[in-house]
Copies of this chain bind each other. A is one copy, B any other.
Amino acid sequence: MIQSPFNCHFELTLELIGGKWKGLILWHLHDKKVLRNGEMLRLMPRITQKMLTQQLREMEENGLIKRVVYEQVPPKVEYSLTPHGEAIRPILEMMIDWGVEYARDKNIPVACTKK
Contact = CB atoms under 8 A, between A and B. Distances in A.
Interface of A: 2, 5-14, 16, 18, 20-21, 23-24, 27, 44, 46, 63, 84, 87-88, 90-92, 94-103, 105-106, 108-112, 115
Shortest beta-carbon contacts, A-B, top 7: A9-B99, A10-B23, A13-B99, A8-B112, A13-B95, A12-B99, A9-B96
A9 B103 contact: yes
Copy tally for this chain in the complex stands at 2
A interface SS class: helix
B96 A94 contact: no
9 contacts: A5-B110, A5-B111, A8-B110, A9-B96, A9-B100, A13-B99, A16-B102, A84-B105, A87-B98
